[in-house]
Amino acid sequence: MRTPFRKTAGKVALWILTFVLMVIMCVPGLWVVLTAFRPNAEVLAKPPVWIPEDPGLTNFAKIFGFAADQVAIPVPSYFANSLIIALTSTAIALLIGMSGGYAFARYRFRFKNGIFLGLMLSRTVPGIALSLPVFIIWSKLGLIDTKPGLIIVYVALNVPFTIWLIDGFFRQIPKEMSEAAQVDGCTRWQAFWKIEFPLAKSGIASAGIFAFLTSWNEYALASNLTRSTDSKTLPVGLMDFTAQFTIDWAGMSAMAVIIIIPALILTFLVQKHLIAGLTFGGVKG
Amino acid sequence: MAEITLDKVVKRYGKLEVVHGIDLKIAHNEFVVLVGPSGCGKSTTLRMIAGLEDISDGAIRIGGDVVNDLPPRKRNISMVFQNYALYPHMSVRENLGFGLKIAKQDPKMIEERVAEAAETLGLDALLDRTPAELSGGQRQRVAMGRAIVRHPEAFLFDEPLSNLDAKLRVQMRTEIKKLHQKVKTTVVYVTHDQVEAMTLADRIVIMRDGNIEQVGTPMEVFDHPLNTFVASFIGSPPMNLLPATVRGGAVHFTDGKSLPVPSRLAGKVRDGQEVTFGLRPDDLTPQGHGIAEGGERAQMELEVILSEPLGTETILYTTIAGQEAQGKMYGPRPVSPGERLVFDVALEKAHLFDAATGRSVAAD
Amino acid sequence: MQTKRPPFWQREKYTPYLLLLPAILTILFVVLLPLIFSFYTSFTGYRLIRPESLWQWVGLRNYERIFGDDDFWAAFVRTIVFLTIALNLEFLLGLGIALLINKITWGQRTLRTIMMFPMMFSPILVGYQFKFVFNDNIGILNNALESLGLSDGAIPWLVDTYLANFAIIFAEVWMSTSVFAILLLAGLFAMPRDPIEAAKVDGCNAWQVFRHITLPFLMPFVFIAMTIRSLDVARAYDIVDVMTGGGPAGRTELLWTLIARTGYDNARMGQANAMGYISIILSIAFTYYFFTKLIASRRYMGGAD
Better-scored residue on pLDDT, B86 or C49: B86
Percentage with pLDDT > 70 across chain C: 94
- Return the pLDDT at C297: 76
User: Do residue A22 and residue C114 have CB atoms under 8 angstroms apart?
Assistant: yes
Residue B85 near chain A (CB below 8 Å): yes
- Return the pLDDT at A11: 82
All residues of chain C having their beta carbon less than 8 Å from the beta carbon of residue A132 are 38, 259, 263, 269, 272-273, 276
pLDDT in tens, B274-329: 999 999 999 999 988 887 777 888 899 999 999 999 988 999 999 998 889 999 99
- Return the pLDDT at A284: 42
Decide: helix, strand or coil at residue A194.
Answer: helix
Residue A174 near chain B (CB below 8 Å): yes
Least confident of A135-144, B179-188, B268-277, C113-122: C113-122
Mean pLDDT along residues C151-162 = 80
Residue A197 near chain B (CB below 8 Å): no
- Verify that B196 and B302 share a domain, yes or no: no
User: Do residue A26 and residue C114 have CB atoms under 8 angstroms apart?
Assistant: yes
pLDDT in tens, B8-20: 999 998 889 999 9
**CA-based nearest residue to A169, from A139, A134, A204:** A204
User: Do residue B98 and residue A177 have CB atoms under 8 angstroms apart?
Assistant: no
- Return the pLDDT at C1: 40
CATH of domain C67-301: 1.10.3720.10
Residue A181 near chain B (CB below 8 Å): yes
Domain span at B283: 233-363
- Verify that B119 and B218 share a domain, yes or no: yes
pLDDT band, residue C303 (cuts 50/70/90): very low
- CA B109-B112-B117 angle, to 5 degrees, is 125
- Verify that A79 and A52 share a domain, yes or no: no
- Verify that A39 and A94 share a domain, yes or no: no
- Verify that B222 and B246 share a domain, yes or no: no
Least confident of A96-105, B22-31, B260-269, C44-53: C44-53
Q: Which residue in A has a C-alpha nearest to residue B47's C-alpha?
A: A179
Better-scored residue on pLDDT, B192 or C182: B192
Residue B151 near chain A (CB below 8 Å): no
- Verify that A36 and A80 share a domain, yes or no: no
List the CATH number of the domain containing B358. Answer: 2.40.50.140
- Verify that A99 and A156 share a domain, yes or no: yes
CA dihedral A10, A15, A19, A25 (to 10 degrees): 80
Taking only residues 91 to 120 of chain C, the set having a beta carbon closer than 8 angstroms to any beta carbon of chain A reads 97, 100-101, 103-104, 111-120
User: Do residue A183 and residue B103 have CB atoms under 8 angstroms apart?
Assistant: no
All residues of chain A having their beta carbon less than 8 Å from the beta carbon of residue C120 are 213, 217, 263-264, 266-267
Question: What ranges do the domains of chain C cover?
Answer: 1-33, 67-301
DSSP collapsed to 3 states, chain B: CCCEEEEEEEEEECCEEEEEEEEEEECCCCEEEEECCCCCCHHHHHHHHHCCCCCCEEEEEECCEECCCCCHHHCCEEEECCCCCCCCCCCHHHHHHHHHHHCCCCHHHHHHHHHHHHHHHCCHHHCCCCHHHCCHHHHHHHHHHHHHCCCCCEEEEECCCCCCCHHHHHHHHHHHHHHHHHHCCEEEEEECCHHHHHHHCCEEEEEECCEEEEEECHHHHHHCCCEHHHHHHCCCCCCEEEEEEEECCEEEECCCCEEECCHHHHHHCCCCCEEEEEECHHHEEECCCCCCCCCCEEEEEEECCEEEECCCEEEEEEEECCEEEEEEEECCCCCCCCCEEEEEEEHHHCEEEECCCCEEHHHC
Chain A interface disruption, residue of B53, B87, B142, B162, most A CBs within 10 A:
B87
Does residue A163 surpass a pLDDT of 50?
A: yes
User: Do residue C2 and residue B69 have CB atoms under 8 angstroms apart?
Assistant: yes
- Return the pLDDT at B19: 93
Taking only residues 143 to 162 of chain C, the set having a beta carbon closer than 8 angstroms to any beta carbon of chain B reads none
- Verify that B351 and B255 share a domain, yes or no: yes
- Verify that A128 and A34 share a domain, yes or no: no
- Return the pLDDT at A283: 44
pLDDT in tens, B134-153: 988 899 999 999 988 988 98
pLDDT in tens, B237-254: 899 999 999 998 899 998
- Verify that B103 and B214 share a domain, yes or no: yes
Residue C287 near chain A (CB below 8 Å): yes
User: Do residue B89 and residue A198 have CB atoms under 8 angstroms apart?
Assistant: yes
Better-scored residue on pLDDT, B47 or C244: B47
Indicate the average pLDDT of chain C. Answer: 84
Better-scored residue on pLDDT, A124 or B190: B190
User: Do residue C3 and residue B66 have CB atoms under 8 angstroms apart?
Assistant: yes
Q: How far apart are CA A18 and CA A234, in angstroms?
A: 33
- Return the pLDDT at A282: 46
Residue A112 near chain B (CB below 8 Å): no
- Return the pLDDT at A2: 53
Residue A182 near chain B (CB below 8 Å): yes
For residues C97 and A18, the answer to whether their CB atoms sit within 8 Å is no
- Verify that B176 and B298 share a domain, yes or no: no
**CA-based nearest residue to A122, from C146, C231, B240:** C231
Question: What are the distances in angstroms from CA B112 to CA A224, A283, B115, C237?
Answer: 65, 46, 5, 66
Mean pLDDT along residues A30-48 = 80
Indicate the average pLDDT of chain B. Answer: 91
pLDDT band, residue A278 (cuts 50/70/90): low
Q: By a Cβ cutoff of 8 Å, what residues of chain B touch chain C?
A: 54, 59, 66, 68-70
Q: Smallest Cβ distance to C124: which of A47, A118, A235?
A: A235
Better-scored residue on pLDDT, B336 or A242: B336
- Verify that A105 and A180 share a domain, yes or no: yes
CA dihedral B228, B230, B234, B240 (to 10 degrees): 0
- Verify that B238 and B223 share a domain, yes or no: no
Does residue A110 surpass a pLDDT of 80?
A: yes
- Return the pLDDT at B30: 94
**CA-based nearest residue to A48, from C154, C144, C153:** C144
- Return the pLDDT at B114: 93
Indicate the average pLDDT of chain A. Answer: 84
Q: How far is A185 from chain B, CA to nearest CA, in Å?
A: 4
pLDDT in tens, C202-254: 888 888 888 888 888 888 888 888 888 887 888 888 889 888 887 777 888 88
User: Do residue C269 and residue A136 have CB atoms under 8 angstroms apart?
Assistant: yes
pLDDT in tens, A202-227: 888 888 988 998 899 999 899 989 98
All residues of chain C having their beta carbon less than 8 Å from the beta carbon of residue A217 are 120-125
Last residue of a domain, one of B183, B214, B232: B232
All residues of chain B having their beta carbon less than 8 Å from the beta carbon of residue C3 are 66, 68-70
Taking only residues 125 to 144 of chain C, the set having a beta carbon closer than 8 angstroms to any beta carbon of chain A reads 125, 128-130, 132-133, 137-138, 140, 143
Q: How far apart are CA C31 and CA C21, in angstroms?
A: 15
Q: How far apart are CA C187 and CA C98, in angstroms?
A: 9
- Verify that B237 and B336 share a domain, yes or no: yes
* Range ranked top by mean pLDDT from B23-37, B121-135, B243-257, C154-168: B23-37
Last residue of a domain, one of B232, B263, B297: B232
- Verify that B91 and B228 share a domain, yes or no: yes
Mean pLDDT along residues C48-54 = 79
pLDDT band, residue A3 (cuts 50/70/90): low
Domains contained in chain B, number: 2
- Verify that B291 and B357 share a domain, yes or no: yes
List the CATH number of the domain containing A89. Answer: 1.10.3720.10
Least confident of A9-18, A97-106, B341-350: A9-18
Q: How far is C19 from chain B, CA to nearest CA, in Å?
A: 19
Does residue B339 surpass a pLDDT of 70?
A: yes
- Return the pLDDT at A274: 67
- Return the pLDDT at A285: 37
Percentage with pLDDT > 90 across chain B: 61
Q: How far is A191 from chain B, CA to nearest CA, in Å?
A: 10
pLDDT band, residue A279 (cuts 50/70/90): low
Last residue of a domain, one of B202, B232, B262: B232
For residues B283 and B349, the answer to whether their CB atoms sit within 8 Å is yes
Taking only residues 10 to 69 of chain A, the set having a beta carbon closer than 8 angstroms to any beta carbon of chain B reads none
Residue B79's Cβ-count burial label (10 Å; 0-12, 13-18, 19+) is buried
User: Do residue B88 and residue A199 have CB atoms under 8 angstroms apart?
Assistant: yes
A70 assigned to some structural domain: no
Mean pLDDT along residues C148-163 = 80
How many contacts, defined by CB atoms under 8 Å, are there between A and C? 271
For residues B223 and B282, the answer to whether their CB atoms sit within 8 Å is no
- Verify that B201 and B323 share a domain, yes or no: no
Better-scored residue on pLDDT, A4 or B21: B21
Q: How far is B65 from chain A, CA to nearest CA, in Å?
A: 18
Does residue C3 surpass a pLDDT of 60?
A: no
Neighbors of chain C with 3 or more C-beta pairs under 8 Å: A, B
Domain span at A14: 4-58
Residue B15's Cβ-count burial label (10 Å; 0-12, 13-18, 19+) is exposed
Taking only residues 28 to 67 of chain C, the set having a beta carbon closer than 8 angstroms to any beta carbon of chain B reads none
All residues of chain A having their beta carbon less than 8 Å from the beta carbon of residue B52 are 179, 182-183
A65 assigned to some structural domain: no
Q: How far is C161 from chain A, CA to nearest CA, in Å?
A: 21
Does residue C2 surpass a pLDDT of 60?
A: no
- Verify that A9 and A94 share a domain, yes or no: no
pLDDT band, residue A276 (cuts 50/70/90): low
- Verify that A181 and A44 share a domain, yes or no: no
- Verify that A52 and A83 share a domain, yes or no: no
pLDDT in tens, B155-175: 999 999 988 888 888 988 998
- Return the pLDDT at A233: 92
- Verify that A35 and A166 share a domain, yes or no: no
Question: What are the distances in angstroms from CA B210 to CA B37, B69, B214?
Answer: 11, 22, 12
- Verify that B219 and B144 share a domain, yes or no: yes
- Verify that A50 and A134 share a domain, yes or no: no
Residue C5 near chain B (CB below 8 Å): yes
Mean pLDDT along residues A130-145 = 90
- Return the pLDDT at A244: 58
Taking only residues 6 to 25 of chain C, the set having a beta carbon closer than 8 angstroms to any beta carbon of chain B reads 6, 12
Q: How far is A146 from chain C, CA to nearest CA, in Å?
A: 15
Domains contained in chain A, number: 2
Strand pairing category for B154-158 and B186-191: parallel
